[in-house]
Amino acid sequence: MIQIKQRLHFLVLIIFSLMHGYGQSKTGSVRPNIIYIYADDLGYGELGSYGQKKIRTPHLDKLAREGIRFTQHYTGAPVCAPARCMLMTGKHAGKSYIRGNYELGEFEDEKEGGQMPLPEGTFTIAKMMKQAGYATGVIGKWGLGMHTNTGDPNKQGFDYFYGYYDQKQAHNFYPTHLWENGKWDSLANPFIYVHKPLSKDENDPAAFARYKGKEYSLDKMVEKTFEFINRYKNKPFFLYLPYTGPHVSLQAPDEAVKEYIGKFEEKPYRGEKGYASTLYPKSTYASMITYMDKKIGLIMELLEKLNLDENTLVMFSSDNGATFDAGGVDTEFFNSVGGLRGRKQDLYEGGIREPFIARWPGKIEAATISDHISVQFDLMATLAELIGVKKPQTDGISFLPALLGNEKQQEEHPYLYFEFPEKSGQVAIRMGKWKGVKSNMKKDKDSPWEIFDIEKDVNETTNVAAAHPGLIKEFEAILKKEHQPSHIRDWEFVNPKFNSSQN
């Protein structure tokens, strides 16, 4: 009787596995581990493989040489929280539940409140991967809710979380604590209010040293990354790594900063534009990127050591363009957006075009470049196709064919739609070689379109709208089709049901 039950149980497992495709990927091999690394405010031009000349990124450059580099890959939004929401849910900005950095709480530990949480019932990439038998983890900056509400990553499909729940806490790379599955993990750092500038009479190096601690958050997050990979090395895992560099504050370990001191002309930053003061702002910024690159190199070494290298798809991108020169950053000096127009908070190319690198030995051909127009909310559809599950309802299109070198089989987006309620209220549409941008819509929702020929004018210097009235009509029709009303009044600038004089 026991043997019969055991056989029946085994048969059920086989049938269940066949129904869900467990163990086999779309490529016909054992399902790969998937690591998605998400930098914070890293500009399109800040990696050596994307033309950077002053900041060293040898490990990510190696990743590009051994894999594929996309040239026209976009984020869903030009700031942190909505970009993360769109990545996780596969929705574009006209439909996304979160469309801006809606802040709750304050910077102090006792006032930590996070951002608007994902609602209960949200279908995320993590839930999809977990349903398919993957172990799921997120280590880094979450920004989509706290452990005390529906946005808790452990309620949104992740088996494991370590890092910052709250984006405001992530302004400090030497926090008093990080979080592990809802539990406070103390770090050996005093509380630092990074947004307090130095006074005019504070010139001693000791004053700048107040913005440093003993335990650097990235070190702790990489330590937990190693633990996660070791723990799940014998089963498929999906690991999302939204690391926090190079988002300001400008803070990095002394040994990392020393590698750059003397290479640039620079003067101390005293906190005039917010965030932590630092003696060497250019050196610190460069070192934050190089230090993160070094840690990514260590992760790649671990995969090789554990013999996971050839069955792990590693991807790297960034949540939005380089910062708008807050916190002492000089993006002009570093050519952080590769000559593109705009920065973080802009829907011009510099705010939304992102580096995207992927490596999977034996599946992705080394040293390849793809010009496929893709976007981060394509990731859910891509992973669904990769692991052989039914594509969820999403605004994305799988870029798996482009990833694997099958460009002829790659479905193209008819257009990409963007909207962003913060700053001035902006909408953008990328349709083939054409790009339309509407700005200042909070003041005038009927503000005129700018139109750019991205193939000829990637820097968006020449507005050709007057010569293309037909395109304007097409863009207006797309805008009406793709925008759905937001549940937040401050985010509803496309078709507001109120006017600016109302309270």
Handedness of CA 21, 27, 29, 34 (dihedral sign): negative
pLDDT of residue 25: 55
Give me the CATH number covering residue 487: 3.30.1120.10
CB atoms within 10 A of CB 472: 15
The fraction of the chain above a pLDDT of 70, given in percent, is: 93
The confidence band for 28, taking pLDDT boundaries of 50, 70 and 90, is: low
Beta carbons within 8 Å of 55's beta carbon, 6+ residues apart = 46, 48, 286, 289, 290, 334
- Residue 1 located in a structural domain: no
Q: What is the pLDDT of residues 445-472, one digit of tens each?
A: 999 999 999 999 999 999 999 999 999 9
Mean pLDDT of 60-75: 98
| Tally of domains in the chain | 2
| pLDDT band, residue 251 (cuts 50/70/90) | very high
Helix, strand or coil, per DSSP, at residue 364: coil
Query: Residue 395's domain spans which residues?
Result: 32-413
Asked if residue 214 has pLDDT above 90, the reply is: yes
For residue 29, the model assigns a pLDDT of 55
Token digits for 212? 């440093």
Give domain status of residue 220, yes or no: yes
Average pLDDT on 208-228 reads 98
pLDDT score at 463: 98
Shared-domain flag, residues 403 and 448: no
| Residue 136, in any domain of the structure | yes
User: How many CB atoms are located within 10 Å of the residue 503 CB?
Assistant: 3
Pairing of strands 368-370, 183-186: unpaired
Query: Looking at residue 494, what is its pLDDT?
Result: 96
Q: For residue 9, what are its two tokens? A: 């149980």
> Of 393, 413, 433, which residue is a domain's last?
413
Identify whether residues 377 and 478 lie together within a single domain. Answer: no
**Residue 379 resides in a domain:** yes
Stretch 3-17: mean pLDDT, rounded? Answer: 41
Among candidates 61, 54, 59, 60, which has minimal Cα distance to 286?
54
pLDDT digits 0-9 by tens, 95-112: 999 999 999 999 999 999
pLDDT recorded at residue 15:
39
Mean pLDDT of 214-228: 98
User: What's the pLDDT score for residue 30?
Assistant: 73
Residue 316 has pLDDT above 90, yes or no: yes
Q: Residues with Cβ < 8 Å from 150, sequence gap 6 or more?
A: 117, 118, 119, 120
Handedness of CA 161, 153, 138, 34 (dihedral sign): positive
| Both structure tokens of 305 | 């050591």
Number of H helices, E strands in the chain: 13, 17
Q: Is the pLDDT reported for residue 31 higher than 80?
A: yes
Residue 21 belongs to a domain: no
Tens of pLDDT, residues 166-205: 999 999 999 999 999 999 999 999 999 999 999 989 989 9
Whole-angstrom distance, CA of residue 284 vs CA of residue 290: 10
Which one-letter amino acid corresponds to residue 487? H
The vertex-338 CA angle with 322 and 406, nearest 5°, equals 100
Q: pLDDT band for position 8 (50/70/90)?
A: very low
pLDDT at 5: 42
Is 381 found in the same domain as 361?
Answer: yes
Mean pLDDT of the chain: 94
Q: What residue ranges in 337-377 does DSSP mark as E strands?
A: 353-359, 368-370, 374-375
Lowest mean pLDDT across 25-34, 272-281, 331-340: 25-34
Provide the strand spans (E) within 199-319.
237-241, 312-318
